């Protein structure tokens, strides 16, 4: 993989999640998500903040993942602005091999893409499988029963023949 290929994968991950944010019905913000502690609004707030956090990390800054600002009145637009900043940060620093690896970003974005699509009833069949496959490989390499912390429950079974998004969601502790 070249840096250009990595940037293309990251761009696709960000674009498909931005598209889902465009589709969130206003009346769904109080609905549950596959993350029992979050409603759709909480998930949207977390998703919108993720690219800016990764951009800060790519620039060598510390990030507090526990503090989640509001996504505002136009979450998709704010997400796209943060996504563009992330792409600039990664390109400017040559940072895809930095402490904020592309595969880590794929893991975060893929799990929450599945979460949001599931919460708002959108199909996942058209999602970019490479994003989830790279994220899942990253998670399998580093996430153990001992370090799952509060963000990930125990791995759940994925149905036989499950696509990459269902497999990464199950690995992240989601019931699929």
Those residues whose C-beta lies under 8 Å from the C-beta of residue 93, and which sit 6 or more positions away, are 58, 59
Confidence check: pLDDT of 52 > 60: yes
| Predicted pLDDT at 96 | 46
Instruction: Quote the percentage of the chain above a pLDDT of 90.
Output: 71
| Predicted pLDDT at 90 | 87
Confidence check: pLDDT of 2 > 50: no
Q: Which of 17-26, 55-64, 131-140, 142-151 has the lowest mean pLDDT?
A: 142-151
Mean pLDDT of 44-50: 97
Is residue 167 exposed (0-12), middle (13-18) or buried (19+ Cβ within 10 Å)?
Answer: buried
Instruction: Note whether 98 and 105 are within 8 A (CB).
Output: no
The tokens for 137 are 């490989």
Q: How many angstroms separate the CA atoms of 117 and 109, rounded? A: 12
Query: Sign of torsion, CA 88 94 97 98?
Result: negative
Q: Which of 2-11, 33-42, 107-116 has the lowest mean pLDDT?
A: 2-11
pTM flag (> 0.85): yes
pLDDT category, 152, cuts 50, 70, 90?
confident
**pLDDT digit string, tens, across residues 84-106:** 999 999 887 544 445 678 899 99
The tokens for 74 are 């136009």
Confidence check: pLDDT of 42 > 70: yes
Q: How many angstroms separate the CA atoms of 110 and 2, rounded? A: 21
| Predicted pLDDT at 4 | 55
């Amino acid at each position: 993989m070249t840096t250009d290929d990595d940037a293309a994968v990251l761009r696709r991950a960000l674009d498909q999640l931005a598209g889902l944010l465009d589709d969130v019905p206003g009346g769904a913000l109080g609905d549950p998500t596959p993350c029992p502690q979050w409603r759709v609004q909480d998930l949207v707030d977390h998703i919108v903040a993720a690219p800016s956090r990764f951009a800060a990390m790519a620039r060598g800054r510390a990030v507090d993942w526990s503090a989640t600002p509001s996504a505002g009145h136009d979450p998709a637009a704010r997400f796209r602005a943060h996504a563009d900043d992330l792409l600039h940060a990664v390109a400017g620093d040559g940072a895809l091999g930095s402490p904020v690896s592309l595969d880590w970003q794929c893991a975060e974005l893929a799990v929450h893409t599945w979460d949001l699509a599931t919460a708002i009833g959108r199909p996942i069949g058209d999602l970019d499988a490479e994003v989830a496959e790279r994220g899942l490989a990253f998670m399998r390499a580093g996430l153990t029963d001992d370090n799952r912390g509060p963000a990930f429950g125990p791995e759940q079974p994925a149905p036989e023949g499950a696509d990459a998004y269902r497999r990464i969601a199950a690995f992240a502790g989601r019931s699929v």
